[in-house]
Structure 1
């Protein structure tokens, strides 16, 4: 499994945001369409009906966000050392982003967990948004890009690639 831009790729499966676990919300991209997963959202939006696919509430990586994440880790460690029997801070839910699917039946807002702890690089956000818009340009464009992402995911071994490689992959998938 690997994160590339706003996408989480597990084997041949491609998700916008993190792959959901249990009843958590998520959005999967398949050759048929956009699949809403998790409690409170379900459905399949066929590519032929998807007019636009956009993402909002995406956290962008910044120095302040990185410092905040380090502070949270340090504070959590101190609290766990001081009170190791569950008196530490309650687990916080991961950040969410909104995936909007525009179709003839209207606008559908789906939720997905953010996969990047300190946010995504501005370049990866821009390339990911461009790639999402390309999916709505027609079946040939969508199937080529999605097939390339799935093929890469099946062949990739290891965790997420480094930022420069992620950007290179996104540029290739955008075409």
Structure 2
């Protein structure tokens, strides 16, 4: 698995935020559409049905503010022994017939994303929903990686720019 912006990318699937384990909620993106996970029955829509997607409730901080927040969170957990669960985020999916909200857990350390990665992730998701980018490009990139490590920030942003710009991998 590799994290690039809001996307959790494995060789087989792409998720928004963390890949859900067990009954936890999540969002999977496929070539065919978007699927809510952990909600019985799991809702799904084809990309042709989706008119608009919107990501909400995501923590976005500058690099400096992110470091401070992570340090304070680590100190709090060390002193109290109480670690927080990752923050929950929301994907709002609009179709001609209805609007639905799907929950997913943030996958970034501390649940905090940089402004650039968040903005590029939103742009990429909009392009996927509009047919200008493909989930298959993210999967193809992951399959060509030698290991499961997440790329450094500069490489993640470059990948997001490439995919959001409509350039395949």
| TM-score of Structure 1 vs Structure 2, range by shorter chain | 0.7 to 0.9
Q: Partners in 1 of 2:24 and 2:162 — Cα distance?
A: 31
Determine which structure has more spread, i.e. the larger CA radius of gyration.
1
Moved over 4 A (4+): none
The equivalent residue for 1:128 is 121
Match of 1:137 among 130, 133, 145: 130
The RMSD of aligned alpha carbons is: 1.7
1:153 aligns with 2:142: yes
Q: Partners in 1 of 2:143 and 2:12 — Cα distance?
A: 5
The equivalent residue for 2:94 is 102
Q: Partners in 1 of 2:77 and 2:130 — Cα distance?
A: 46
Quote how far apart the aligned CAs of 1:150 are.
0.6
SS at match of 2:76: helix
| Aligned residue pairs, count | 162
Q: Partners in 1 of 2:157 and 2:66 — Cα distance?
A: 21
The equivalent residue for 2:74 is 73
Q: Deviations over 1:98-135 (max 9, x none)?
A: 10111012111101100112411111111111111112
TM-score (norm 2): 0.87
Pair 1:41–1:26, CA change in 2 (3 A):
farther
Mapping 1:10-159, distance limit 5 Å: 10-39=10-39, 42-62=42-62, 63-79=64-80, 88-89=81-82, 91-118=83-110, 119-138=112-131, 141-142=132-133, 145-156=134-145, 157-159=147-149
TM-score (norm 1): 0.85
